[in-house]
Structures are given as structure tokens and as C-alpha cells.
Amino acid sequence: MRQEISLLGAKEIREIATSLDLVPSKGLGQNFVHDANTCEKLVRLAELKDSDRVVEIGPGLGSLTLALLRAGAAVTAVEIDKRLASRLPQTLREHGATDESFEVITKDAMQLRSEEIAEGSLLVANLPYNVSVPVILHILSMARISRAVVMVQSEVATRLAAQPGSKEYGVPSAKVAWFADAAIADRVSAKVFWPVPRVDSSLLTLRVHPPLSSEADRELTFKVIDTAFNQRRKMLRSSLESLISQYLPNQSSEEVLESSGIKPTERAESIQIEGFLAIAKTLQKR
């Protein structure tokens, strides 16, 4: 249900921070958005419907949380910083949110369990920069999210949305493709944050599709990806040689790659996620 909710302005954000004696932590990626238009842009991109449930990682002082609640979503906000998490309900209530419309979980998003996320939820978040990729992969791996809109460092957004054949294509691009199609929706100026970070940000949309295969296949596929990109300039026949010999000691890496439909002379950066999965499947045919 849409609620009569007011958003946070720059002055109020400073006031709340002062009342908490908060010195924004670099380690926790604490750059707070003090521009309501940016929060509304994230909400528009999420195409929220009234009945939607949203998981927000790192609500901070509540700027985006209020914009999500105003759009009618029910929000589960996961915040690692105890001071911010315990202050958040007060801020949300003072701005017109009802207690039934939000839940605050005080924990590291990497420790979030699937039963804490409602089936079909959206992930909408201004993510802490230093953990944005592992957090995205962790949340997607729980198979509860239907789509996502996240704000991340522009360089990370470029890597997540990169396609095979480009120099930005790497481990995050290949792994996220297991779960979703990632696309950059917009750039965001560093000026919308307090404190102003040294890097630009981008908005990334993730259209979630069914996982490509079983969890066991995913684990081995991710191992193949990590190994192949560990020596990304080498041809796969040599970058994957030792991994292949662990699984199939009696076959050459050329044979294994060819029977997976992959040219042994290719490099990791030209392989689609389906190709890495094909290699993982061949490795299991002991």
C-alpha cells in the first residue's frame, strides 16, 4: 500500500548522523545518498508494484528505504552497522512509514539466509562498494530474487555487465550471468553522496533468469571460471590443465575442452557462461 511518506533531505541526513556521532566508515562503504531524485530513480528503474517485497542491503540512514516505502513496497532492510540499524525504525516512523511495512535485520548481508528473504522479492540497494560483487552473488545464489536494481561503483558495473570478448569481461561477469542478465541503466554523479566518494557510480539492472543448472554444477562451473581467469592471458588448454588433470587424469586438456565444444586455444575472456558449464559437466564424467 502506498504511504504518505516524506523523503530525507541533505540537512536532515547530517542531523541524524550528528545525533549518532557518526563518522562515516570507509571500510563499510558508508557514502550516504543525500539527493532524493537519485533514490527515486532507483525506485523507477525497479518498476515496483504495490504488493512487491524488497530486500535492501545497507539502508544506512534510510534515504532509499523511504523512497521504496513511498512507492508501496514492503522492505526488509539488512544493515551491518548496529547504530544505523537501531536508529532506522525511528527515522522511518517519523517520515510516515507504518511498522508493518518494514523489517530491519541487523547483520552482515553475507550471512543472510534464504529463509529471511521472501520468495520473489526484488533486490534494490545502494551497495557498500567493497563488498558489492560478493553480496550480489550471495543474494542471487539463494534463488529468491526476481529482479534487482543496484547502485555500484561504475567500474564494477562495467565488469558485471561485460560480455565475452571485451577486456572488462572477467570472473564477476561470468558468474553473474549464471543467474541474470546485467545491464547498466545510468551513471550517477559522486556529488549525490555524503561524503563524496572518489569514484563514480552506476545503476545496474539484473534481469534474473532460472539458474543454468544444479547447485553442484554451479560450484564446479565457478571453480572452472576462477581457474581460467586466474591466468587470463593463457590459452584454456594450459590455464585449465592442472584442474582438468585433477578430475580426468587420463585425458589431455585438449581432449576435455574439445569434448566440451570449446577450442583449446581460446582464452577465458571469450567463453560464455554456457561454455564454462559445458567444461564443468565434462569434468564430472569420470
Instruction: Give 29 or 172: the residue with its C-beta nearer to ligand SAM.
Output: 29
**What is the distance between the alpha carbons of residues 198 and 92, in angstroms, rounded to a whole number?**
29
Instruction: Give 43 or 57: the residue with its C-beta nearer to ligand SAM.
Output: 57
φ, ψ for residue 126 (rounded to 5)? -100, 95
Asked whether position 110 contacts ligand SAM by CB under 6 A, the answer is yes
| H-state helical runs in 208-272 | 215-230, 236-239, 241-247, 253-259
**What is the distance between the alpha carbons of residues 277 and 183, in angstroms, rounded to a whole number?**
22
Give the shortest CB-31-to-ligand SAM separation in angstroms.
5
Asked whether position 109 contacts ligand SAM by CB under 6 A, the answer is yes
**What is the distance between the alpha carbons of residues 64 and 216, in angstroms, rounded to a whole number?**
36
Residues 1-40 that bind ligand SAM (CB under 6 A): 28-33
φ, ψ for residue 272 (rounded to 5)? -70, 160
Q: Are strands 53-57 and 74-79 parallel, antiparallel or unpaired?
A: parallel
Asked whether position 162 contacts ligand SAM by CB under 6 A, the answer is no
Residues 114-143 that bind ligand SAM (CB under 6 A): 126, 128, 131
Asked whether position 202 contacts ligand SAM by CB under 6 A, the answer is no
The contact pattern for ligand SAM, residues 41-80, with x = CB under 6 A and - = no contact, is ----------------xxxxx-xx-------------xxx
Instruction: Give 128 or 275: the residue with its C-beta nearer to ligand SAM.
Output: 128
Size of the site for ligand SAM (CB under 6 A): 24
Write down the number of H helices and E strands in the chain: 12, 9
For residue 140 the three cell numbers come to 542471487
What residue type is 7 in one-letter code? Answer: L
Residues making contact with ligand SAM (CB under 6 A): 28-33, 57-61, 63-64, 78-81, 84, 108-110, 126, 128, 131
